[in-house]
């Protein structure tokens, strides 16, 4: 047995997986990051790093760099996401007792730009061969029950049931979480009062609901549903945290960093019966709203200001565009930056996350004032909700979304869903409550719950 990480990456025949990456979503304990038909999935658990507190990102960064410093990496594909890859999920708040984590799987399968690969990871001295990697892929895909028992022993937070969710509205029932609807709307009113008093400019308030599924939670099916319905989002699964986020906190490829900022939301159901096409309605009501545009400007200014010290050059849309999703429209802006060489090094994904999180899109501004008010008004620990979720590789590449439109599988029959809204001076509690239900819809649909 050796303490040195050893990895081998080999090509896969992409034609054998015509369904793209979603065809590899066969296990409830899978690690997942996918968009359209591409992305990464991880099987098993080789090791993990846990952290809490304000230094969680930097501590994870140090752990990862030490792990790969002495690693023996053989990579016959050499794309972002090849070689050793860790999947991660971090708590939203530095005060949260929720454990942030990086997980190193035993096997990673990836698809990108029509190319597929598999990476086997080990601390053992046994030789790594292409035949062995391909055999490992076959084993994980065809023997989920036996491998699932081994994985559960490795420390996963949840072990979801393999029972299938019913396809009709009787799959489960909902109950309110930390606050009732009336209490949450009062929290929104209290937040608006603080904004009008000049204490802050924007506040993001979240709420939770609890789904009970008597027939059990099928996490793999949830991920497949989300990947199929929300192709423009990034579907994620890490240790019982599942969802499909439309917001990219930071994507790093070489020295190029990109982000997608969302703020401003309109329920697509609101367009029913309105004049003109649905997109014309969205343009008129969303892009034409002073309140929505103000909320978006706060979010984009927050991210670009925090990213600027790490960048040699940066550009973003002069005007936000409308992102069309199956449940809502968003005002969105993409930001692209060329990373600067700082003291001989390009900043890592986790160093950038440490500087960027939490953005105004999920917290508010000023950050410290908004964070304190969130803790006062929400009456819940967000855990990983609205925290960074994604992956990074040994070359410094990575993709980290904000864990939105998601839920935490708490046990075999219980799922806690989260949704939040940006609160500004013109916010109305009833409208914000309706917006949370629009944002709950992707997870409710994937769970088979109709409301």
CA dist 247 and 263 (Å) reads 10
The single residue of 202, 221, 435, 445 carrying the catalytic annotation is 202
Is the CB of residue 34 less than 8 Å from the CB of residue 227?
yes
DSSP secondary structure letter of residue 252: E
Is the CB of residue 39 less than 8 Å from the CB of residue 389?
no
CA dist 52 and 59 (Å) reads 9
295 catalytic residue (yes or no): no
| Angle of the 367-377 helix axis to the 181-196 helix axis, nearest 10 | 150
Measured in whole angstroms, the distance separating CA 23 from the mean position of its chain's CA atoms is: 20
H helix runs in 90-172, sequence order? 130-142, 144-153
247 catalytic residue (yes or no): yes
| Angle of the 290-307 helix axis to the 349-356 helix axis, nearest 10 | 130
CA dist 406 and 408 (Å) reads 7
CA dist 188 and 192 (Å) reads 6
Phi, psi of 234 (to 5 degrees): -105, 110
The single residue of 37, 59, 247, 378 carrying the catalytic annotation is 247
b/e string for 334-348 if b means 16 or more Cβ within 10 A?
Answer: bbebebeeeeeebbb
DSSP secondary structure letter of residue 147: H
b/e string for 301-311 if b means 16 or more Cβ within 10 A?
Answer: ebbbebbeebb
Q: How far is CA 447 from CA 90, 153, 237, 267, 283, in A?
A: 24, 26, 14, 20, 31
CA dist 93 and 380 (Å) reads 11
DSSP secondary structure letter of residue 135: H
Residues catalogued as catalytic: 202, 247
């Amino acid at each position: 047995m050796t303490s040195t990480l050893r990895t081998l990456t080999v090509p896969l025949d992409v034609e054998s997986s015509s369904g793209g990456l979603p065809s590899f979503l066969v296990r409830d304990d899978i690690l997942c990051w996918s968009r359209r038909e591409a992305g990464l999935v991880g099987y098993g658990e080789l090791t993990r790093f846990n952290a809490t507190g304000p230094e969680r990102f930097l501590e994870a960064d140090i752990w990862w760099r030490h792990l790969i410093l002495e690693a023996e990496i053989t990579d016959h594909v050499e794309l972002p996401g090849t070689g050793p890859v860790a999947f991660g999920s971090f708590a939203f708040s530095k005060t949260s007792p929720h454990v942030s984590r990086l997980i190193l799987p035993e096997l990673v399968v990836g698809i990108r730009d029509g190319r597929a690969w598999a990476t086997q990871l080990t601390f053992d001295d046994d030789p790594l061969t292409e035949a062995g990697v391909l055999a490992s892929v076959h084993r994980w895909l065809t023997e989920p029950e036996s491998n699932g028992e081994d994985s559960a022993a490795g420390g996963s937070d949840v072990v979801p049931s393999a029972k299938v969710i019913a396809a009709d509205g009787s799959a489960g029932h909902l109950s309110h979480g930390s606050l009732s609807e009336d209490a949450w709307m009062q929290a929104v009113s209290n937040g608006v009062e603080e904004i009008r008093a000049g204490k802050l400019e924007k506040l993001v308030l979240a709420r939770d609901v609890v789904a009970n599924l008597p027939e059990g939670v099928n996490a793999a099916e949830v991920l497949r549903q989300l990947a199929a319905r929300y192709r423009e989002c990034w579907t994620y699964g890490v240790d019982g945290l599942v969802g499909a986020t439309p917001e990219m906190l930071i994507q790093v490829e070489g020295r190029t960093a990109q982000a997608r900022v969302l703020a401003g939301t309109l329920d697509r159901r609101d367009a029913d019966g309105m004049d003109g096409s649905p997109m014309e309605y969205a343009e008129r009501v969303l892009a034409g709203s002073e309140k929505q545009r103000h909320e978006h400007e706060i979010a984009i200014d927050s991210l670009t200001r925090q990213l600027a010290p790490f960048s040699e050059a940066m550009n973003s849309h002069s005007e936000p565009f409308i992102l069309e999703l199956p449940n809502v429209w968003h005002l969105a802006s993409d930001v692209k930056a060329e990373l600067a060489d700082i003291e001989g090094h390009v900043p890592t994904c986790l160093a950038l996350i440490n500087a960027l999180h939490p953005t105004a899109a999920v917290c508010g501004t000023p950050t410290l004032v908004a964070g304190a008010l969130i803790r006062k008004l929400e009456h819940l620990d967000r855990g990983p909700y609205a925290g960074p979720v994604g992956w990074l590789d040994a070359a410094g590449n990575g993709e980290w979304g904000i864990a939105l439109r998601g839920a935490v599988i708490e046990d075999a029959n219980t799922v806690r869903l989260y949704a939040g809204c940006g609160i500004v001076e013109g916010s109305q509690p009833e409208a914000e409550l309706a917006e949370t239900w629009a944002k709950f819809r992707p997870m409710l649909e994937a769970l088979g719950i109709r409301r």
